[in-house]
Structure 1
Amino acid sequence: MTDSGHSVVITTTDAEEKAKALAGVVVAEQLAACAQVYPISSVYRWEGKIQHDQEWRIDFKTRSDLVDELTRFIAEHHDYDEPEIIATPVTGGSAGYLNWVSTETK
């Protein structure tokens, strides 16, 4: 497997409206070509307590060279104290789709 030059950046938030708003502004800023928003159930430890929450996950499809800028943008526009922001390199995929991701990002 090789790095395609693309990544998926993941974050979560606590409300569908917030997730869709963040997804929309990121795509409008051309930091990602696409954002998928969907509900998830999260179990995690926060401040010494186990939490069980419904959240909304956002998967941003972007170029790997935009990951740092996208990470900063998400952090600046997120209302969590410590938002999850994880980037995973894309090691393969449809050449046409990956080309579209490249052309739709700045």
Structure 2
Amino acid sequence: MTDQPVLIYTLFGLSAEAKHVARTLIEERLIACANHIAPIVSQYIWEGEYCEEREYPVLLKTVESQAEAAMARLKTLHSYDTPAILCWSADQCDPDYAKWLSGQVDK
């Protein structure tokens, strides 16, 4: 039986940082792959000030048993003081893909 696939979503201020962090997590076998999404505009309040910034979202794919370690490592690598790191289970997944994904990460 394969480990349950999970998705981790985060954003970066620079595309180069997003690629570097994703590669590190892949090389450390904490995630199987990363999907870099087109730049977006994020709007939010930070330290009492309105902000509107271009950011680079990334969807990281791993398995449930590695999710906590992947998120912790992501937080240490991330340049933001408080990065958005969101994780959810992929309740439905193609079994062949789930098997590949599970085989790409250390458990």
* TM-score, length basis structure 1: 0.92
Equivalent residues in 2 for 1:1-106, closer than 5 Å: 5-38=4-37, 39-106=39-106
Letter in 2 for 1:7: V
* Residue deviations 1:53-106 (CA, integer Å, cap 9, x gap): 110111110001111101110111111110111101111021111111100111
Give 1:26 deviation, angstroms.
0.6
Q: How large is the RMSD of aligned CA atoms in angstroms?
A: 1.1
Separation in structure 1 between the aligned mates of residue 67 and residue 93 of structure 2, nearest angstrom: 18
Instruction: Please list every run of 5 or more consecutive structure 2 residues that lacks an aligned counterpart in the other structure.
Output: none
Letter in 1 for 2:56: W
Identity level (%): 26
- More displaced, 85-94 or 41-50? 41-50
Letter in 1 for 2:12: T
Instruction: Please list every run of 5 or more consecutive structure 1 residues that lacks an aligned counterpart in the other structure.
Output: none
Give 1:49 deviation, angstroms.
1.7
Separation in structure 2 between the aligned mates of residue 9 and residue 63 of structure 1, nearest angstrom: 10
Separation in structure 1 between the aligned mates of residue 22 and residue 40 of structure 2, nearest angstrom: 16
Query: Number of matched residues?
Result: 103
